[in-house]
Structure 1
Amino acid sequence: MEKENHCYCTVLNSINEGVIMTNSKGCVTLYNKQIQKFEGLDPANVIGRHLTEVYNITEETSDQLSVWKSKKPIIDRYQKFLTADNKELNSIGSTYPVFKNGEIVAAFTICRNLTKIHELLNKTMQAQEKSTENTLVEDLGNNTRFQLNDIVAKSDVMLELLEKARKAALVDATVLVWGETGTGKELVVQGIHNENPLTRKNPFVAVNCAAIPESLLESLLFGTTKGSFTGSVESTGLFEQAGKGTLYLDEINSMPLNLQAKLLRVLQEKKFRKLGGKEELPMQCRITSSTNVDPAECVATNTLRKDLYYRLSVLVLEIPPLVKRREDIPLLINHFINSLSAKYGKRVNRISFDLVSAFCDYTWPGNVRELEHSIESAVSMIDEEGILLPEHFPSNLLGKLEKPLFVPSKLPPNGLSGVLSQTEKETICQVLEECGWNISESARVLKIGRTNLQYRMKKNGIKQPLIIK
C-alpha cells in the first residue's frame, strides 16, 4: 500500500495541473507540487488545515465544500480568489467528489493557472484602450460605447438573455426591452445595434421620451420645415438622423398617447412627414424601445397603446434585476473597481470580503447603476492602503445591508493579532454567559474540546465572576 501511495504521489507531482484534496472536515489532505508553484504556499502551512484558514473564502463560496454538500461535481469553474496572505490568483478548475461504498470520502480539485494569462490579457486590453482612448464612438462613429461582449455576467439568466439579444440583432424586427431602473437596458440595446453587421455601420440615435415635452418631442422625432410654425426652421428629425441605423425610444410608455398614434402609423407605413411638410420620407431605421415597467402593465394602465405595443414587441427582452442575478455581483464589483480606479487614479488592491458577502445579499433597488455609483463613491474616498472598507462607502447604503459589518475604528497596538485575540475573548465570554459558565456545554457550542477551551480561558484571563448572594 505504501509503494502504491508513493506511485500516486509521483504521478500527481508530475502533471501540469494543480491538485488539492480535502477530507470530510474540510481539511487539506493533498497538495501537489504544481499548485504549490501556482499559489506560492508552503505545504506545511496547508496540509491538515481547513480550507477557510488557507484561503480567503467561506463555506458558501468554496467549490470543494459545496461539492461535499451537494455530492455533485463542479466543472470548469473560473475563480479569482485571494490566499491567506492576500495574493490574488486566477484559475479554472473542476472539483469532484470521491465515493466509497456509496458515501463521499473526499473531494478534489484539478485546476490550471490562469494568472499569467490574465495579466497578459489585462496588459493587452490596457494597451488597446490607450490606442483607442477607450471609446467605441471613436472606433465606429455610431454614438455607442457598448457591445454585448462588454456586459459583465456569468449567471444563467443573463447568459440566456445575451444569447437572445444576439439572435434578435440579426433579424430586422422591432425590439422592446424592459427591466427595472438601472438594469442596463440601453447597454443591451446598444449591443444589439453593434451586433448587426448593417446597423453597426450606421448611427445609433437615442431619445428619452419622459425627458422631453410633447411639443418638442414630436418635432424632434419628425423634424420640421421652415415656416411650419412661428419661428420654425428646417430641421432633421431623429427618424432621418438614424438613417439605416437604430432609433432607440427610451421609456416609450411616457410618450403622449396622441404621439403614440402617429408613431404607430410610421411603423405601419414605413414613411413619415416633417412637421409642416408635404413630402413623405422613407423611414429606414430600426426601432427599439424600452420601459422600466412590465409592458403588459403599461397596456393595462393605458400608458402604452395596445396596438403600438404589438408593433413594438415583435421581440421582447426582459432584463432581470440584480437581485435575480446575485452571482454576477462579485464580477461587477471587480469590473467597476478596475475601471473606476483607473478613472480616479486610485490604487485599489482589494475589497473587504465581508462587504462583498453583504453586497451579494443586498436587494439593490437601483440595480447595476446603484452598485456602480456605490463603488465609485468608495473608490474616490479610498486611502493609500488601497483596501476598500465599509468606512469608504455611503453611510445610507451600509445602513440598509442585512449582514452586520465589522468596522474597527482603530486597530490596537499589536495590529490584527490583537483584533483576533479580542474577538476570541468576547466570543468565549458570551458563550460562557449563555451556558451558565458550564465549561463542557460551552466547549460543545464553540465546537472545540473542553481542554482547549480551558487553555483559551487561561490565555485570555477569563474567569467566572464572583456572585455575591
Structure 2
Amino acid sequence: MKDVVHLNLMNKFFKQILDEIDVGVHVVNHEGKTMIYNRKMAEIEGMNFEDVLDKSLLDVFSFHKNEDSTLLEVLQKGTRIKNSKQTYFNNQGQEITTINNTIPITDNGVRIGAMEIARDVTKLEKLIRENMNKKGDTRYTFNSIIGSSEQIQEVIEASKRATRTNSSILITGETGTGKEIFAQSIHNGSSRSSKPFISQNCAALPDSLIEGLLFGTKKGAFTGAIERPGLFEQAEGGTLLLDELNSLNPPLQAKLLRVLQEKTIRRIGDTKDQKVDVRVIATINEDPIDAISAGRLRKDLYYRLSVVSLFIPPLNKRRKDIRDLVQDFIEKYNQLFGMRVTGINDEVLRAFDQYDWPGNVRELEHIIEGAMNLIDHEDTISYIHLPIHFRNKQQLKSNNASPVLPDEMPIQKGRQVIPLDQYMEEAEIYYLKTVLKQNNFNITQAAKSLGMSRQNLQYRVKKHKISKD
C-alpha cells in the first residue's frame, strides 16, 4: 500500500514538472503511440490531450512529402537527432515548425520508445518568410552590414550618399565580401525601394542565353522564341544588379553601354526601341584596371558605370570586425537551430585573427555554421568545433612556421661549444615553455598549437620538469 501511495505521489510530481517546463515533451512507445504529452507541447501543436494520447503519430499528424517524423525515425533507427528543424501539420491542417532534440528510450538494451523535446519556432519561421517576400529578394538594409572598422564605415557612408541619386554604380570587391548586401542596401535606401530589385550573375549563363535574358525576345526571332520581357523591363522603375560583370563578352558589354547611354532597350528580333527607367549596379571581383588590361572589361563601359565607385575591403583588411561578425552569425544560427551558443573562446579568436580569410565574410559565416553543427552541449565554440578543413589549414601554417629562439641562447660555455644534444634539449624546453605560456598552460590547447598529441606533450613536460614557475 505504501508503495502505491508513493508511486501516485511521484506521478503527480512528474506531471506537474512536465506541465510547468517551457519546452514541449512528447514520448511514444515502441508502437509509435503517444504515452506522454505535456501542456507546452499541446500549446505548440494546438491540440487537445485526448486527440493525441494513446494514438499513433501518423493518425494525428501529417508531414511533407519525403519527410518523416523525427520521433518515428529515432524509434526505428535508435540514433538520437539533435537540433533538427521539422515542419509538419496538426489534425486541423495547421503548419507547425519546431526545433527538436529526439532521443531513443531503451530498457536493458531493448528499444521501448522515443522522447522528443521541442522548441516552437513557427512564428519565427513565418516572420522570416514574410520579410524575405516583402520586397521580392531584397532583405538587406544598411543595418544588415556588420562592422565598426574605419574601412567598412567609410564604404557605408559613401553608399548611403549614393541612395540620393539614380547614377550607375560599380562595386568592386573579392568574392564573399558582401557586394550584393551593399547593392540591396542602396536599393532599399533609395526612392526606388518600392520597385523591383532584380539580380543576375553574368557568369551563371552562356552568352547565347544571357543576351535574351537581359534584353528580352520577340516572338519568331529564332526557332522557339517567344514574346518575353528581359530583366531590364522586369526591373522597370527599380534596380538591376549585374553581378560579375567582367564575365560578359565585349559585344554584350557594348550593348549594355548603349542601354546605359540611351536609356532604351531593344528585344532580340525586334525593330523598335523602348524606354526603360532602371538603375544599374554592377559588381566585379577583381581590380577594374586589371580587367581592362586583360580585355575582360571595356574601358568606356567602366567609365560609364563607375560614376559611383565603391570598393569593399577584404576581411583580412578589416580584422577589427571579425568579433562583431562572429557574434552576428552565432545569433543568426542560434535562432535557426534553436541553440544557445554565447560566443567563441580565446583560442578560436586568435586563430581567426591569424587567418588570411581568402573566402572573406562568406567563409567566416560558413565556418561558424559548421562549428554550430558540431557543437554538443557546450555554450561556447572551441577550436575542436571548427570544421576540419579550417583546422588543417591552421595546422599546416603552424607546422611551416619556424620556431623563434632568443638571440641570447649561447652556443658555447666558456671555450667549449655546447654539444648538439644538449643545445637541442634546451631549445625544446624554451620552445615548449613559450607555447605553454601562450596557452595559459592549458595542455590540450598547447598540444593543438604544437601539432602533437596531448599525451606526447604531457610526457615532454614531465621529462623536462616544466612548470608554471
Q: TM-score range by the shorter chain?
A: 0.5 to 0.7
What corresponds to 1:287 in structure 2? 280
Q: Residues of 1 paired with 2:360 and 2:265: CA distance? A: 37
Q: Residues of 2 paired with 1:322 and 1:382: CA distance? A: 25
Aligned residues: 295
What corresponds to 2:58 in structure 1? none
Q: Residues of 1 paired with 2:293 and 2:266: CA distance? A: 31
Which letter does structure 1 place at the counterpart of 2:145?
I
Give the alignment's Cα RMSD to 1 decimal. 3.1
What corresponds to 1:263 in structure 2? 256
Would you say 1:227 and 2:223 are equivalent positions? no
Task: Tell me if the contact between 1:142 and 1:201 (Cα under 8 Å) persists in the aligned partners.
Answer: no
How do 1:169-248 and structure 2 match up within 5 A? 169-196=163-190, 198-248=191-241
Give deviations 1:65-107, integer Å, cap 9, x for gaps: xxxxxxxxxxxxxxxxxxxxxxxxxxxxxxxxxxxxxxxxxxx
Which letter does structure 1 place at the counterpart of 2:175?
T
Give deviations 1:240-284, integer Å, cap 9, x for gaps: 000110000000000011111111111111101111112211120
Q: CA deviation at 1:305?
A: 0.6
What corresponds to 1:146 in structure 2? 140
Q: CA deviation at 1:462?
A: 7.6
Q: CA deviation at 1:367?
A: 0.3
Task: Tell me if the contact between 1:346 and 1:380 (Cα under 8 Å) persists in the aligned partners.
Answer: no
Task: Tell me if the contact between 1:347 and 1:384 (Cα under 8 Å) persists in the aligned partners.
Answer: no
How do 1:356-435 and structure 2 match up within 5 A? 356-401=349-394, 434=426
Give deviations 1:344-393, integer Å, cap 9, x for gaps: 22331332221012102211000001000011111111102233122221
What corresponds to 2:292 in structure 1? 299
Which letter does structure 2 place at the counterpart of 1:138?
N
Alignment partner for residue 346 of structure 1, among 339, 348, 361?
339
Distance 1:435 1:377, change over 3 A: closer
Q: CA deviation at 1:131?
A: 7.1
Q: Residues of 1 paired with 2:161 and 2:130: CA distance? A: 25
Task: Tell me if the contact between 1:330 and 1:360 (Cα under 8 Å) persists in the aligned partners.
Answer: no
Give deviations 1:390-416, integer Å, cap 9, x for gaps: 2221222112237869xxxxxxxxxxx
Q: Residues of 1 paired with 2:127 and 2:342: CA distance? A: 26
Q: Residues of 2 paired with 1:344 and 1:213: CA distance? A: 38
Moved over 3 A (4+): 126-132, 134-137, 402-405, 433-437, 461-465
Task: Tell me if the contact between 2:327 and 2:343 (Cα under 8 Å) persists in the aligned partners.
Answer: no
Which letter does structure 1 place at the counterpart of 2:132?
V
Alignment partner for residue 152 of structure 2, among 140, 158, 161?
158
Secondary structure of 2:394's aligned partner? coil
Q: Residues of 1 paired with 2:270 and 2:255: CA distance? A: 15
Q: Residues of 1 paired with 2:271 and 2:356: CA distance? A: 53
Which letter does structure 1 place at the counterpart of 2:250?
L
Q: Residues of 1 paired with 2:310 and 2:302: CA distance? A: 14
Q: CA deviation at 1:136?
A: 3.6
Q: Residues of 2 paired with 1:388 and 1:464: CA distance? A: 33
Alignment partner for residue 137 of structure 1, among 132, 140, 150?
132
Paired-residue identity, %:
44
Distance 1:240 1:357, change over 3 A: same
Q: TM-score, normalised by structure 2?
A: 0.58
Which letter does structure 2 place at the counterpart of 1:190?
Q
Distance 1:274 1:462, change over 3 A: closer
Q: CA deviation at 1:130?
A: 6.7
Q: CA deviation at 1:463?
A: 9.8
Q: Residues of 2 paired with 1:134 and 1:383: CA distance? A: 28
Secondary structure of 2:368's aligned partner? helix
Alignment partner for residue 278 of structure 1, among 250, 255, 271?
271
Q: Residues of 2 paired with 1:252 and 1:398: CA distance? A: 34
How do 1:111-122 and structure 2 match up within 5 A? none
Secondary structure of 1:133's aligned partner? helix
Secondary structure of 2:199's aligned partner? strand
Secondary structure of 2:241's aligned partner? strand
Which letter does structure 2 place at the counterpart of 1:348?
V
Q: Residues of 2 paired with 1:435 and 1:220: CA distance? A: 66
Q: CA deviation at 1:168?
A: 1.0
Distance 1:329 1:388, change over 3 A: same
What corresponds to 1:458 in structure 2? none
Task: Tell me if the contact between 2:201 and 2:244 (Cα under 8 Å) persists in the aligned partners.
Answer: yes
Secondary structure of 1:304's aligned partner? coil
How do 1:310-349 and structure 2 match up within 5 A? 310-349=303-342
Q: TM-score, normalised by structure 1?
A: 0.58
**Where does structure 2 lack aligned partners over 5 or more consecutive residues?**
1-120, 400-424, 438-460
**Where does structure 1 lack aligned partners over 5 or more consecutive residues?**
1-125, 406-432, 447-460
